[in-house]
Structure 1
Amino acid sequence: MGSVGVAELRRSLDGLLTYLEPHWDFVNCHMVNYLTDDHWQHFVPEPLRLELNTAKDLNQAIDTLFWRSNRQSQQFPAFASFLAAGDHLRLENYEKLLTTVEQLEQQLATSTHTQLSIKEFMSAKKCHEVELTAALIDKLVQSKSTPNSTSFIVDAGDGKGYLSSRLALQYGHRVLGIDANTTNTENALSRNRKLQRAWNGLTERAELQSQGIIPARRGKKSNQQDASIIPPSLENYKTTSRFITTELNLSDLLTEHFDQQSNNICLTGLHTCGNLASTCLQVFHAQDNCRILCNVGCCYHLLREHFSQQEFFGNKALMDQQVDCGFPLSCYLQERKVRLGRNARMLAAQSIERTLAAKELPNITLYYRALLELLVCRHAPHLKNELQVGKVKKFDSFPEYVKKCADKLNVPWLATVEEEELLLLLEKHEIDRQYLELFYLLRMSFAPVLESVILLDRLLYLKELGYEHSYLIDLFDAVISPRHYAIVAIKQ
């Protein structure tokens, strides 16, 4: 545990990049162009295509290769071999690179608080994430606390304050939540005032449930309830609205809000979007008093890359604020000028685990959007790849979908396309829907490999800087929380 070094990480990244090398165009293709650019012929290797001849083959391939994950298939050996090669490169198969929570706890040798399952005020998914993250951060902070240290936690991308409030209320830590959105910080404080009032009751219920006792239904206060019990104070939780960069001095910010100097800061973030995850690693390195890092990233498509140009970003205002690049971070990948591309980064954030667990085929809108692009090429070829349709809801057929798109985008020519033409188009490409579904799943099989490149680059960045005690931890259940890896680092 913790023994993985720079050389081992570089070898692992070499293996991932070698596997991806022939498929960069595949992982960067856009599903909108599946029909217009004939993705099936261009990106699926010929040996795989030759194994499919009928609609029955397509359905059987999805069931065998994906829903049953059969990598020994005699019916589809080329597909099985192709998918097995990708499976082998998933992070869970790199035992040397991963550290378990239990292994880290053994090294930290800290006392353990009771881990309460408090589900109110958040979804089951968020509850799962908050409980595990808060428990880990508590142990990390304990491990660096001394009689002479003043410990604080900074929660980057605080949002509604789910993690911060748990750290403050259950574990008693002093926490500063930072979020770029002023509305988020205001909502976080409002939520926490409600949570503070309900906290004693919530903890009582959680403790009963942990003992196998079903608590009484919540309602009017019990006559026996001790009115003298004072809710825990939230004086140890503050929020501020700032855009985090390496220039933002965390020590000064904590002094401003808590009127105390800090020499032991834990910088954390639960699902920090895009560049913020990378920025947190850079802040950890740049600021001496930042002694602990615990970060779970997400939204890889919002990362700013060194070597990927002319990308479309839906949230341009946010992207324009980001002055630093978030990928690659390591010198090793920077020297090689590794480029992922926006579509590849979007793919990296998709959850093959959740898709397989639910046996979930892509939504019909993916197929309809591909058909719509055929109409664009037929009636307004100058608009190919220009229409940003976004989400379309509440339609029962392809003609309805097209009508909603025409209204939403205010495109007169699309509104005039006859229903007969739409139905003929649908009939002509009926088999293509099944091919598209298999293509979608095959492309998604690259998602864990792409995410591995991003995460190992971050870990390598820390190792290159000499942080021997830096770890990649599989923290959450992958089906419940698709972005389930945490980067942890401790300064000695």
Structure 2
Amino acid sequence: MDQLVKRHIRFHLESHQRGNNLRKLPCLTFINNDDTFSNVFCENSKKLINVDLFALAAEYYSLSHLGVCTPLEELLKALGGDNQGSTGIKTDEFMNNKKSHEVQVMSELVDKIANYCGIKQVIDIGSGKGYLSSFLSMQYNLKVYGIDSSNTNTNGAHERNRKLKKHWRAYQSRARANPESQRLEKANDSPVQNEIKCKAVNDRTLNNSCLQSQDQRTTQDLIPSCVFTEVATSETSKQTEIDLVAQAQCNESKLSEEALAILDVLPANAVEIFSSSQCNSGELCEEEKAKRKMASIKAKASKSSESNLYFPLTSHITAETELGDIIADLEDCIMVGLHTCGDLAANTLRIFTAKPEIKAVCSVGCCYHLLSEQYENQEDCTEEVWGFPMCQYLKDKGWCCGRNARMSACLALERIAVGQMLPTDSLFYRAVLQVIIEEIYGVTKSERHVGKIFSKSSSFLDYVRKSLKKMELDDSKLPDSCIMDYYEKYKHRMNELEAFNMLKVVLAPCIEVLILLDRLCYLKEQDNIAWSGLVKLFDPVKSPRCYAVIALKKQSCF
């Protein structure tokens, strides 16, 4: 039976990958008939008897075939606006492929929503390492507050943001240098202009020591390209050179003041200390200090004229969290969350609907197994806030998934379909370990978790020993021979385990549909929502949790 199941499931996974699935199968028209499922499971034993129909029905009830999603391209088109961040820093230079893909796609959408609603502030819930927050602030000039419950993540985000700003300044310098290089190449077409250009550069190098300490790229950025074409004689060249130096000093002084004003409102260690080579005398430095202090006061008074700032904050977010207690200058904003775990995704939507300052939300959840369920233990605790269900329709029905189903929803069908098969060995090790713990130690439920021990273990014996120590169970009463006896007893059932988990993979999208539609229906039940929808943001092979719940409020947006 297990071989038959595996063969049928592999066929449907391959069909899923090729796209040769539902539309070409003749029994599609019967899927929405409840009688169909009597042919999938035995009426008496409730066991699976038709694998083909089971896989077909599961695929039919996935988000990709229900027709409830809004295409990303259509949403971007409806939001309008130009692609302000189409060029700039390349995320794949400091993020892995998965994170780079997620950040680029989601940040473009968030920027368009912010522009559509006319807002510049973003609240990133569960910001983690701050990749999305940093990119939104630098690439799209948004003021971002990243809130995470882990102080370690917040401190790491500070340091990471500092490094990203160095990358960003380098890209900006290159971007400014490229147009200048093109103008220089044009100027090279004229021998006379080329000769004059070289003379101007030599004169500047010899006669202006104050510019020698400047970074070469920065100096070129401050020099107008017209200096290479307006010089006709050496006398004119010298006069132009004097004007050029004065203009460069003026520009640099202005840039220094602006930079110092921004530094005063940036978080600690966000950027390196700015230094100027213009301070050639104590009198000049004092004058500049006074100017910078005045600029800083003005900047603070206006809550900073620069919007592209990122502030990592540490706080535990619940449905009752008052954002105004965390963010002093809270204003009209958009709330986002990239792979917010468990209840945090649900609470993000609840905060969005409750707070008038939040005009839009874009939330991608994950870790469904960490969701709290109101009816999981058949207890109706109406006073608590639960992760599932959210909408009144499922609440009225007392709907419950259970942990096993929610665990299955986390599986990645698309990855399995392209050949990234399940880790059968590690699953088998874990299953046999559970039998050992129950039979030898009498433990059926524990608050401790084994975690990722398989990758650190050299054998099944080593795996069991390390797992028992992590669970604080005495392994001295369990000899090696006993451990290996368990392994030999169950190893012939490994194929059965693989077949069972492949069935779970096929069913995973159906369970995810239930969770996501529950969140969407919750938004549809609110009176202050102008539009809400589910959008497939990411390539599911790169990022399996690829669906975003998006909503815009009526006021100010429409």
The residue type equivalent to 1:83 in the other structure is: A
Deviations, residues 165-192 of structure 1 (Å, cap 9, x unaligned): 1111111111111122222222212211
How much is the aligned-residue C-alpha RMSD, in angstroms? Answer: 3.3
Corresponding residue of 1:395: 457
Shift of 1:340: 1.4
1:225 aligns with 2:287: no
1:245 aligns with 2:318: yes
Corresponding residue of 1:24: none
Trace 1:20-35 onto structure 2 (pairs within 5 A). Answer: none
**Partners of 1:154 and 1:175 within 8 A in 2:** yes
The one of 459, 480, 489 aligned to 2:551:
489
Deviations, residues 254-277 of structure 1 (Å, cap 9, x unaligned): 4x2x4xx62x21111111111111
* Inter-partner Cα distance in structure 2 for 1:422 and 1:458: 45
Q: How many residues matched?
A: 403
The one of 78, 86, 105 aligned to 1:115:
86
Trace 1:146-225 onto structure 2 (pairs within 5 A). Answer: 151-202=120-171, 225=217
* Inter-partner Cα distance in structure 2 for 1:410 and 1:109: 57
SS of the counterpart of 2:418? helix
Shift of 1:83: 0.5
Corresponding residue of 2:344: 276
Deviations, residues 183-235 of structure 1 (Å, cap 9, x unaligned): 222221221111112213246779999xxxxxxxxxxxx98523568799666
The residue type equivalent to 2:66 in the other structure is: Y
**Partners of 1:58 and 1:434 within 8 A in 2:** no
* Inter-partner Cα distance in structure 1 for 2:177 and 2:342: 40
SS of the counterpart of 2:147? strand
* Inter-partner Cα distance in structure 1 for 2:318 and 2:5: 49
* Inter-partner Cα distance in structure 1 for 2:457 and 2:146: 41
**Partners of 1:402 and 1:414 within 8 A in 2:** no
**Partners of 2:520 and 2:549 within 8 A in 1:** yes
Trace 1:320-469 onto structure 2 (pairs within 5 A). Answer: 324-380=385-441, 382-386=442-446, 388-393=449-454, 394-412=456-474, 416-419=478-481, 421-466=482-527, 467-469=529-531
Corresponding residue of 2:112: 139
Higher helix fraction (1 or 2): 2
**Partners of 2:177 and 2:217 within 8 A in 1:** no
SS of the counterpart of 2:337? strand
The unaligned stretches of length 5 or more in structure 2 are 27-47, 179-213, 223-254, 267-305
* Inter-partner Cα distance in structure 2 for 1:342 and 1:285: 27
Corresponding residue of 1:124: 97
* Inter-partner Cα distance in structure 1 for 2:311 and 2:480: 59
Corresponding residue of 1:13: none
Shift of 1:249: 3.5
Shift of 1:253: 4.5
Trace 1:468-483 onto structure 2 (pairs within 5 A). Answer: 468-483=530-545
**Partners of 1:58 and 1:435 within 8 A in 2:** no
Distance 1:379 1:488, change over 3 A: closer
State the identity %: 35
SS of the counterpart of 1:155? strand
The one of 61, 71, 83 aligned to 1:89:
61
**Partners of 1:115 and 1:131 within 8 A in 2:** no
Shift of 1:389: 3.4
Distance 1:207 1:350, change over 3 A: farther
The residue type equivalent to 2:77 in the other structure is: Q
Shift of 1:437: 0.4
**Partners of 1:459 and 1:471 within 8 A in 2:** yes
SS of the counterpart of 2:450? coil
1:266 aligns with 2:258: no
* Inter-partner Cα distance in structure 2 for 1:345 and 1:432: 24
The one of 346, 358, 369 aligned to 1:301:
369
Distance 1:458 1:374, change over 3 A: closer
Q: Which has the larger radius of gyration?
A: 2
Deviations, residues 37-57 of structure 1 (Å, cap 9, x unaligned): xxxxxxxxxxxx4xx5xx6x5
Moved more, 404-413 or 118-127: 404-413
Deviations, residues 55-92 of structure 1 (Å, cap 9, x unaligned): 6x56644543445558779xx99211111100001101
* Inter-partner Cα distance in structure 2 for 1:132 and 1:425: 48
Corresponding residue of 1:287: 355
Shift of 1:434: 0.5
Corresponding residue of 2:198: none
TM-score by length of 2: 0.65
Deviations, residues 120-147 of structure 1 (Å, cap 9, x unaligned): 32211111111111100110011111xx
* Inter-partner Cα distance in structure 1 for 2:95 and 2:177: 20
* Inter-partner Cα distance in structure 2 for 1:245 and 1:373: 34
TM-score by length of 1: 0.73
* Inter-partner Cα distance in structure 1 for 2:321 and 2:438: 49
The unaligned stretches of length 5 or more in structure 1 are 1-48, 210-221, 312-321
Shift of 1:238: 1.8
